[in-house]
Structure 1
Amino acid sequence: MATSSLAFAADDLLDERFECLIEPNTVVKVSSETAGVIDEIMVQRGAGVKKGEVLFALTTGRERAAVELAQAQLDFSQRKVVRNEELYQQQLISIHEKDEMETESQIAELELKEAQENLKIRSIKSKIGGVVVERMAAAGEHVGAAPVIVIASIDPLHVEVVVPAEYFGTIKKRASALLYPFDPIGGEYKARVIVVDPLIDAASGTFGVRLKLPNPGYRLPAGLGCEVKFL
């Protein structure tokens, strides 16, 4: 009986269209890992960004000065090591003194790397490719852990569908589907099932399905309603 019911549901599924919602596959709120004053924001709302692209930068006066100081200290310590190598060969300084100078040089090198890293993190880069959907601060503002830029990744898109429980077991992962965005977009697009919720919501008598929808050139906007037909 259960097998028969499932077969009828599978037949009905091919004739049904279900309402759905097109969403970004990821939304990232970008903040700075260090506090500071925003020097410049490089992107506007609606702009496309690539992974690794600089989104905004904090002021860097102190950090640049710290790098220059650390570089000067490293250069001095390295010259000191070179000058005293001959003295060591002539046994005019001890192995302890030689080791101490070499250690100072190694410490200076580490301090330079730390200063360079502190400067580097003042330029905040995007971890994903996508579209800027919101700017939450402006140049001249002091920021900490609060988000400054919000980026949505919209290629591919995710499509969320709520399906009646009677179709549970008829929709399989990797199944194909046809998507029909509402006006003003319209058209027909191919998508693929990537998630089928393993649980049924008792209150609504439904379960969730997620589809992956390729979106080259950002031809489709996120946030649009749609209908979907499973194949």
Structure 2
Amino acid sequence: MALARQLFNRRMMWMLLGCLVVFGGIFGFKFFGRYMMNQFMDNMSLPPATVTTAPVEQQRWQTRLSAVGSMRAINGVNVTTQAQGEVKAIYFESGQFVDKGALLAELSALPETAQIEVLEAERRLAERDFKRISALYKKGVATLRELDQAQATQDQVLANLAVQRATISERSITAPFSGQLGIRQVDLGQNVAPGDPVVSLQQLHPIYVDFSLSEQDFSRVKEGQGVELTAAAIPGQNFSGRITAIDPSIDPANRTFLLQATLQNPERKLRPGMFADVAVKVEKFRSVLVVPRTAISFAPYGNAVFIVRPAKSALAESTNNKAVAPSAQAPQWIAVKRFVKTGEERGDLIEIIEGVREGEQVATSGLLKLRNEGGVIINNTSPLPENLNPTPDNS
């Protein structure tokens, strides 16, 4: 019985060893195959990518102070009524351009007009009484008191007439200045009260932009300095103006001060209330290294460019000593990825603060196809534009 049990245990042990050997061989084969596949993929030579290039250039840029501003009309009001009454007539259309003093609307003034007739009758009577008493005074029949009383009565009637005519004129609503009307807010027959808005009126040419700068920049700006403005509502167009007012005080809450610039707006494209990016031109110039914006590969972990160099020099300066698999035809140019620190953007160009040197060639297209130390083919037959103030092609 013991002998049979020993034989059974030996057989089980040999079976377990056999299973381990079989399964170990299978897993080892799979691991070896995967390792060889990874080695093949890592050393596989990729075809070179076609790119366009541009040199890193040094330029002189005028220093600018950037801010966000809000457009404001030179004159802008809601034209309101000064009297109470029914709207009798409307003489304008919404959005119309009007001159100063143009009649916009009239309120009914029947009782006031009738009162004018009463006062005119009193005026005629007062004039006759004054003439008669003046004649009697010259003859010595009337006293000086009677003459003064007749004069006062006549003056009082004339004053009442002037007040009544002013009351009637308040029922004629006119434009206080030349400008563009907004949307009509009253209708014929509507009963309005003093202060009710009739229509908005904006003087759009020229136009103001109000913006704030940090107190650290107070000594760097002065009246007459030029500004450039862009508005998201009017893409692709720049507007120029000059600083016309600087608030003498600093806001203690946020340590900024208010400035106002005036811009010409003959086409009335800029409208009150628009947000705008304002750049104040400071006299100081600085030297900057710039590349086309399309050369920058933006990423959360850092911005980078691909420096295009001859294959031998690029490999020699590589920091990691990877072995490059031989290929049937070695590329003449290689792209080396380099992280950079970017600065100000102007048009199609962007400032590079750190990471490149003047004269180096950077890839400006096909960045998604590039890999570090990968081969490239340069094709600059159609180079990208490098414009400080680009405008869209609407043709």
Q: TM-score range by the shorter chain?
A: 0.7 to 0.9
Using the size of structure 2 for normalisation, the TM-score is 0.49
Distance 2:104 2:123 in 1: 32
Distance 2:147 2:253 in 1: 76
Distance 2:244 2:123 in 1: 54
Task: Report the equivalent of 1:189.
Answer: 239
Task: Report the equivalent of 2:250.
Answer: 199
Distance 2:253 2:165 in 1: 56
Question: 3-state DSSP class of the match of 2:250?
Answer: coil
**What is the CA deviation profile of residues 156-208 of structure 1, one whole-angstrom value per residue up to 9, with x for unaligned ones?**
211133445654432223211122344546433321112345425655x7554
Q: Within 5 A, what are the aligned runs for 1:73-222?
A: 73-144=122-193, 145-163=195-213, 167-182=217-232, 184=234, 186-197=236-247, 198-199=249-250, 202=253, 207-216=257-266, 218-222=268-272
Specify every segment of 5 or more residues in structure 1 that has no aligned partner in the other structure, as ranges. 1-10
**What is the CA deviation profile of residues 46-72 of structure 1, one whole-angstrom value per residue up to 9, with x for unaligned ones?**
112222222222111111112222122
Residue 15 of structure 1 and its aligned partner are, at CA, apart by 4.8
Q: Quick one: which of 40, 52, 75 aligns to 1:26? A: 75
Alpha carbons of 1:179 and 1:107: their partners in 2 closer, same or farther (altered >3 Å)?
same
Alpha carbons of 1:58 and 1:186: their partners in 2 closer, same or farther (altered >3 Å)?
farther
Residue 140 of structure 1 and its aligned partner are, at CA, apart by 1.5
Alpha carbons of 1:182 and 1:91: their partners in 2 closer, same or farther (altered >3 Å)?
same
Of stretches 70-79 and 135-144 in structure 1, the one that deviates more from structure 2 is 135-144
Across the aligned residues of Structure 1 and Structure 2, the Cα RMSD in angstroms comes to 2.9
Q: Within 5 A, what are the aligned runs for 1:12-51?
A: 14-15=63-64, 17-51=66-100
Kept in 1, the 8 Å contact 2:84–2:191? The answer is yes
Of stretches 33-42 and 210-219 in structure 1, the one that deviates more from structure 2 is 210-219
Of stretches 119-128 and 13-22 in structure 1, the one that deviates more from structure 2 is 13-22
Alpha carbons of 1:178 and 1:61: their partners in 2 closer, same or farther (altered >3 Å)?
same
Q: Which has the larger radius of gyration?
A: 2
Distance 1:93 1:23 in 2: 67
Distance 1:92 1:211 in 2: 74
Count of residue pairs brought into register by the alignment: 220
Task: Report the equivalent of 2:31.
Answer: none
Kept in 2, the 8 Å contact 1:14–1:229? The answer is no
Q: Which runs of 4+ in 1 moved over 6 A?
A: none
Kept in 1, the 8 Å contact 2:87–2:106? The answer is yes
| Greater relative CO, 1 or 2 (CA 8 Å, sep 6+) | 1
Question: 3-state DSSP class of the match of 2:140?
Answer: coil
Specify every segment of 5 or more residues in structure 2 that has no aligned partner in the other structure, as ranges. 1-59, 282-395
Distance 2:185 2:236 in 1: 32
Residue 39 of structure 1 and its aligned partner are, at CA, apart by 1.4
Distance 1:81 1:200 in 2: 66
Alpha carbons of 1:94 and 1:214: their partners in 2 closer, same or farther (altered >3 Å)?
same
Residue type of the partner of 2:250?
Answer: L
